Structure 1
Amino acid sequence: MNIALVTGSAGLIGSEAVAFFADKFDLVVGIDNNMRQYFFGPDGSTDWNRNRLADAFPNYHHRTADIREVPQLQTIFQEFGTDIKLILHTAAQPSHDWAAREPFTDFGVNAVGTLNLLEMTRLHCPEAVFIFTSTNKVYGDNPNFLPLIETDTRWEIEQTHAYFEHGIDEHMSLDHTKHSIFGASKVAADIMVQEYGRYFGMKTGVFRGGCLTGPNHSGAQLHGFLSYLMKCAITGTQYTIFGYKGKQVRDNIHSWDLVNMFWHFYQNPRAGEVYNAGGGRYANCSMLEAIGLCEEISGNVMNYQYSETNRSGDHIWYISDLSKFQAHYPGWWWTYDLKATMVQIHDSMVARLAVAK
């Protein structure tokens, strides 16, 4: 039997992976305990998505477990053993601001939870492919010291710079920078996944995501940029822009496109490899540009306010360079551009809000 094990299976990337892998594996086992609700309150709850997966995919088996607890994980890994061919680790505490409130919890989930999963893999299914969803926040605020210029709607890098054409590559330093507490816990996990590949020879891949998005995101104020922004556009809830004149730039990758990257890696894995993963020059926007798109798609004028205080360690401009991944896996390319993604988010959000009434 071939089994894919997905942590954070009711979250954005986890649920997309369940749907993607359901017809490619005999069984997809999901691990999720809805900690997102603990992090972000009712807006962050993923129960609706867990129920959707259970209804849609007969070969999806859910396990409510805490990745910080080795005995809970051990029970699952002992049950399925070497039938596990893929571990896709998407579970995380994903917020800068929240991490500073509870550093022990943040580090426990992001760093210790990742080590627990790596060790369970090594002990019970060492030939499996282990894929980790890391983050561009491992680079800390180093991107903010690039030569940036201000335009009418965004910050942009100088055209003469090496990063202008494709974006930031994997050689950017992880050192001498402010990461945020969240970024630091993800660095620890990121390096450990690399090390299990290089030291133990395991098939591990690290994907440093930009903004990950899609129609199944449980967006909240502290995490889920485009999803929460569109929700505010639909409902009229006031949105707050934090600093940089609203011109901060992010690249955005649809959850399906990211999971498709994972699929390509799984079919031809490497040991301890690292890739930047985002929308690149193909799909990116500033906050102001995203607001404009939300207004265009929803037909509503957004209610937003501006705060001069930016989030500590936040990026002013970040666009991922995917050239390395595309060189290793030339069959991969983006499917969803920014507007198509945001239309999907809008339509999904409208449907969910209608059901909630």
Structure 2
Amino acid sequence: MRVLITGGAGFIGSNLVRFINQSTPEWEVVSIDDLSTGSATNLDGLRVTAVEGSILDQTLLDALIEDVDSIVHLAAIPSVPRSVAAPRPSHEANATGTLNVLEAARAGGVEQVIVASSSSVYGSNPVLPKTEFEWTRPMSPYGVSKLATEGYTLAYNFSYGMKNLAFRFFNVYGPGQAADHAYAAVIPKFLDAALSGMPLTIHGDGLQSRDFTYVDTVAAVITTAIAEHTHFNDPVNLAYGTNTTLLELIERLESAIGTTVERVHEEPRVGDVRASQSDGELIRTMFPGVTPVELDAGLASTVEWFRSQRRSGG
């Protein structure tokens, strides 16, 4: 099995490479990443052929497709606030980039492309928990670009007979997630502040909720989907139905690190949804062999990774 991972040097991509190395060491893994948000050091010590380049380079993509059995398309410009500040790069990387990957796969005879969409596609839909068949109304350019990502991917199933799979990720977290940039996700941002003795900045009242999903759970589902050649003509929520407010998250982090933290409230951010939760039914039905990592266990592993980075000066 030869697997091409776009965005392989990013947080989720590098964790997926590690998971594949450990669970299916006979597989060959190739990564393409332009290192705009990922880091080459994320792949240190892993068995992977790492190519620096962009999914906007169609010629390069076409060349990498040779002998590939499955593509996992994770490359994107992430972050709702980043897309609000600069919508065009998000569109080009996330929508046009996905079209490029699909075209390379189609031309190269690769049947299965597994793509990362996002819970942000639900946007202003207030229904909780959400099934895959709730209406979508993105509130940010990022959400729109991810709706295009999954839309193109599933359209290629119908139009060209491909066997693709579109997962909607819900707030993935875990070791290796960067905290040192303006658009960092909430868990690494909170952890970095807490371990530095700094106050945690909460945008809004802190009662906004998320369905946090540990990165190894995501990697286990994707690896199973590759191994079992899973495909589906509708998007699939990759989350298991947790509903944790930011205030509850902070309490769990305090328990994990063994200390209390100061909290500072600021204005809500433009484009952020109030609540996000999957019902978790379809993912459990499709992947019954995957047991999701519970939030407290995932946070404990993440805290330990952050502490190890600090000890090593990373």
TM range (shorter): over 0.9
Q: In the alignment, is residue 48 of structure 1 matched against residue 41 of structure 2? A: yes
* Corresponding residue of 1:18: 17
What TM-score, normalized to structure 1? 0.82
Provide the C-alpha distance between the structure 2 equivalents of 1:274 and 1:16, rounded to a whole number of angstroms. 22
Provide the C-alpha distance between the structure 2 equivalents of 1:138 and 1:21, rounded to a whole number of angstroms. 28
* Corresponding residue of 2:86: 102
Q: In the alignment, is residue 93 of structure 1 matched against residue 77 of structure 2? A: yes
* Corresponding residue of 1:225: 186
* Corresponding residue of 2:296: 339
Count of residue pairs brought into register by the alignment: 310
* Corresponding residue of 1:150: none
* Corresponding residue of 1:42: none
Unaligned runs of 5+ in 2: none
Q: 1:72 to 1:237 in 2, by over 3 A?
A: farther
Provide the C-alpha distance between the structure 2 equivalents of 1:138 and 1:330, rounded to a whole number of angstroms. 25
Could you tell me whether the CA contact under 8 Å between 1:31 and 1:64 is conserved in 2?
A: yes
Residues 101-149 of structure 1: per-residue CA shift (max 9 Å, x gap):
222211111111111000000001333x210011011111212xx4xxx
Deviation at 1:17, TM superposition (A): 1.3
Deviation at 1:312, TM superposition (A): 2.2
Could you tell me whether the CA contact under 8 Å between 2:139 and 2:273 is conserved in 1?
A: no
Query: Which residue, out of 325, 342, 346, partners 2:283?
Result: 325
* Corresponding residue of 2:258: 299
Query: Which residue, out of 69, 72, 84, partners 2:57?
Result: 69
* Root-mean-square deviation (Å): 1.8
Provide the C-alpha distance between the structure 2 equivalents of 1:181 and 1:237, rounded to a whole number of angstroms. 31
Deviation at 1:25, TM superposition (A): 4.3
Deviation at 1:348, TM superposition (A): 0.4
Deviation at 1:207, TM superposition (A): 0.5
Q: 1:188 to 1:327 in 2, by over 3 A?
A: same
Residues 288-332 of structure 1: per-residue CA shift (max 9 Å, x gap):
11111222222233233101x212232222111221122233323
Query: Which residue, out of 120, 135, 138, partners 1:137?
Result: 120
Q: 1:221 to 1:341 in 2, by over 3 A?
A: farther
Q: Secondary structure at the match of 1:216?
A: coil
* Corresponding residue of 2:68: 84
Q: In the alignment, is residue 280 of structure 1 matched against residue 241 of structure 2? A: yes
Q: 1:234 to 1:250 in 2, by over 3 A?
A: same
Residues 28-47 of structure 1: per-residue CA shift (max 9 Å, x gap):
001112111xxxxxxxx634
Name the stretch that deviates more: 220-229 or 203-212.
220-229
For 2:190, the aligned partner's letter is L
Q: 1:237 to 1:31 in 2, by over 3 A?
A: farther
Unaligned runs of 5+ in 1: 37-44, 147-162
Provide the C-alpha distance between the structure 2 equivalents of 1:223 and 1:198, rounded to a whole number of angstroms. 36
Could you tell me whether the CA contact under 8 Å between 2:68 and 2:110 is conserved in 1?
A: no
Q: Secondary structure at the match of 1:100?
A: helix
For 2:313, the aligned partner's letter is A
Deviation at 1:92, TM superposition (A): 1.2
Q: 1:263 to 1:178 in 2, by over 3 A?
A: closer
Name the stretch that deviates more: 260-269 or 112-121.
260-269
Provide the C-alpha distance between the structure 2 equivalents of 1:194 and 1:24, rounded to a whole number of angstroms. 30
Q: 1:25 to 1:228 in 2, by over 3 A?
A: farther
For 1:114, the aligned partner's letter is T
Could you tell me whether the CA contact under 8 Å between 1:234 and 1:300 is conserved in 2?
A: no
Residues 146-186 of structure 1: per-residue CA shift (max 9 Å, x gap):
4xxxxxxxxxxxxxxxx4xxx21011112xx3420111111
Deviation at 1:271, TM superposition (A): 4.4
For 2:70, the aligned partner's letter is L
Q: Which 4+ stretches in 1 moved above 3 angstroms? A: none
Q: In the alignment, is residue 27 of structure 1 matched against residue 28 of structure 2? A: yes
Q: Secondary structure at the match of 1:133?
A: strand
What TM-score, normalized to structure 2? 0.93
* Corresponding residue of 1:191: 151
